[in-house]
Structure 1
Amino acid sequence: MADELKRGLEGVLVAESDLSYVDGEVGKLVYRGYDIEDLARGASYEEVLYLLWHGSLPTAAELDAFTADLVAERDVDDDVIETVRALADAGERPMAALRTATSMLSAYDPDDGDSEETTLTQGRRITAKIPTVLAAFERVRQGNEPVAPDPDLSHAGNFLYMLTGTEPDPVSEETFDMALTLHADHGLNASTFTAMVIGSTMADVYSGVTGGIGALSGPLHGGANQDVMEVLHEIDASSKDPVQWVKDTRDDGGRIPGFGHRVYKVKDPRAKILEEKLRDLSESSGDTKWLDYTTAIEEHLTDQGLVEKGIAPNVDFYSGSVYDSLGIPVDMYTPIFAMSRAGGWIAHVAEYQEDNRLIRPRARYTGPENAEFVPIDER
């Protein structure tokens, strides 16, 4: 049994955690015991960060102090912004630019050490600065100057402001804040496990978050919402009915992104919430195109029995449409995922290091045996 191979670590328990729990059979996600729907509708992203990092929801006074500390760390050193500018001018991909800039941030952090307090202090700085980095990157590559953070805006509102140069309306701010909460943590997914493995070596949290960004950048993990949006744009450009487009694609052996999940066997609870927010945004703007497309596709695939087979809409099926409605470029979707999930990565690193054990699995050797060495001049 000890030598049983579990490819992809499928079903292998490697740690215990108080942070989040996913029940894929019934479609349930909780953070520290709180249902994701209650948190998404009733708590701000700042409150969720506090919950993940400190173990309980904050009082009003605790939230004010926590938010003030987060706001105070939003500014990014000029050297980092210049590097971001150079990466944008060179045509670097957003996730790669974020990976580079996040690693560089550690050079300007005054704290050092491997205590939980240091991890959370540095984590707060990382979390506060990632939106500034991403917004600056996007504005520079669009030929605009970066916009300085606004200390009077929330984490979500400030990012949208720095991205567009315009203070967001309440519906947009609330929707984006909710999206950040929905993506903040999700068990031991690939990027969280990567951050935790790095943390198990007692490397600093900058290393863990940088590693998490690298893992999230892969198309099998963080890019599905971009894929969904590209499909919707393709459907729109084809002038086909979305259901007919799906039928033709499936007949040709293609797959529809945004359906199916490694854990969820029913509709992702986060998808349900984002579908509602997409309705709100569509009603607010008067443009229901993406809502019409996505709901028609979901209804068709449900009628085709995919949900009964455990292939249901996941969070990415609706998040792309939500981000598009907020005016966010398609290739910024995964970086925004990282902006939110950084809070979870930091929480997992801090939690694991409390009772640390170096993560060191084994591989079954399948190479040659008893190879005879031949000196180079005889080969």
Structure 2
Amino acid sequence: MPGPTSHAEHTAEIRAVSRAGREVLAAFERVDRGWFVPRRMWCSPRGRLPEPVDLLTDPELWRRCVYGDTVVVTQFDDGATHWPEVGRVATSSASQPRLVVDMLERLRLRPGTTVLEIGAGTGYNAALLAELAGAPQVTTVELDPTLAEIAAANLTRTGHPVHLVHGDGTLGCPDRAPFDRVVATVAAVGDGLPYAWVEQTRPGGLILTPWGNAYDNGVLLELTVRPDGTASGPVVSGVAFMQLRGQRVFTGHAADFAELADAGDPRPSAVPPAEVAFGEGVFGIGLRMPEVCCEVSYTGERDYEVLLYHPAGGSAAVADVRDGVVEVRESGPRALWAEVEAAHGWWAGQGRPGLHRFGVTVTPEGQRVWLDSPANPL
């Protein structure tokens, strides 16, 4: 795993590739990511699968993980899985640095800007927010008591005395509202964008949050709060974040559903599996099947399987792509591959829109997704 092994090298690499402004890059330079990453964590230095890494037994690998442009996992399964075991679901991490910098730039922070962060995690992002807005202006909320304690200790030790609240981030922090900015470091799921975030943001303020569903997790939304108590804005990029704990999608049982799908009779596919599993079309297609999970596994250099499954309903479908030939099997009360073929047809009929043509409006009554304009809801 080549790459930088020090904060100075890490900063130089980010400066070379980032379009962020001077203030954000200066804040990034002042805060060492290594201050917030524990001695023992998990990283993926040799591929897609996370591995346990220990500073004391392999300091060079630890530094390459910490100072590389990669995610460092600091908790699995809400703390139920202990290092060095690798758990089923990553539930806390230090996010990819390039994405951290991009989100900080989008917030357009200045000294005195009041900020609510949802998901303190290690405290690293809150420290960066404090560098830009001032520590007294930053409130960060963390649901997990152990993570809240760790973040508080890290922030105190590094001289970033932000206001940290142990609580449910979906409720915001009404005692400290209103805020100029709300930024979430965890993803809202489906129709779960909290209206409390809108209520607690001043008119003209911004909400920057990851958002997705079971099919595609997900995208980054930049919502502007209006005087009428609504918030609306576009998808600005594709991202993948851990999900709000109370909204987390059922995962980790793909093998069971793959076995269920294999019981079906084989047939060809009416659509290329790659178009329903990869690329910008996945987001639009996923909007038509938000409660269905989509996972890809590679069975060879160019061979792969696309698995669709509906956890609540016990339906599954798999498309096996081998030597360019596609074979589909589906089983259960719902014909999921037929549904994804129909969703693909809808997406193609809309002009094959990329994710940047979509947006969301949040109101007291709920939320609605739109294409190209809030006046064109789906």
TM-score (norm 1): 0.25
- Larger RCO: 1 or 2 (CA < 8 Å, sep 6+): 1
In proportion to residue count, which structure has more helix? 1
With normalisation by structure 2, the TM-score equals: 0.25
